[in-house]
Amino acid sequence: MDLSVTLAAAGAAFLVMTAFWIFSLTRRDAGVADIAWGLVFVSIAWASFVAGEGSGPMLLAALLTSTWGLRLAFHIGRRNLGGAEEDRRYTRMRNRRPGIFWLWSYPMVFLLQGVLALLVSMPLYSLGAANPDSIGVVSWLGAAVFLIGLGFEAIGDRQLTAFRRDPSTKSQVMDRGLWKYTRHPNYFGDATVWWGLWLVAVGSGAAWWTFVGPLLMTYLIVRVSGVKMLEADMAERRPGYREYMERTSAFFPLPPRKP
The helix/strand/coil state of 228 is: helix
**Neighbouring residues of 149: CB distance < 8 A, sequence distance ≥ 6:** 188, 189, 190, 191, 192, 193, 194, 195, 196
pTM: 0.94
Q: Which residues of the chain have pLDDT under 50?
A: none
What pLDDT is attached to residue 220?
95
Please tell me the distance from the alpha carbon of residue 5 to that of residue 58, in angstroms, as a whole number: 12
- Amino acid 118 reads L
Burial class (CB in 10 A: 0-12, 13-18, 19+), 182: buried
**pLDDT of 219:** 96
Assign residue 205 a region: left if phi > 0, alpha if psi is -120 to 50, beta otherwise? Answer: left
For 130-158, the pLDDT digits (tens) are: 777 789 899 999 999 999 999 999 999 99
- Say if residues 181 and 253 touch (Cβ distance below 8 Å): yes
Amino acid at 61: A
pLDDT at 1: 64
Rounded distance between C-alpha atoms, residue 34 and residue 117, angstroms: 12
DSSP code string of 23-78: HHHHHT-TTHHHHHHHHHHHHHHHHHHHHTT--HHHHHHHHHHHHHHHHHHHHHHH
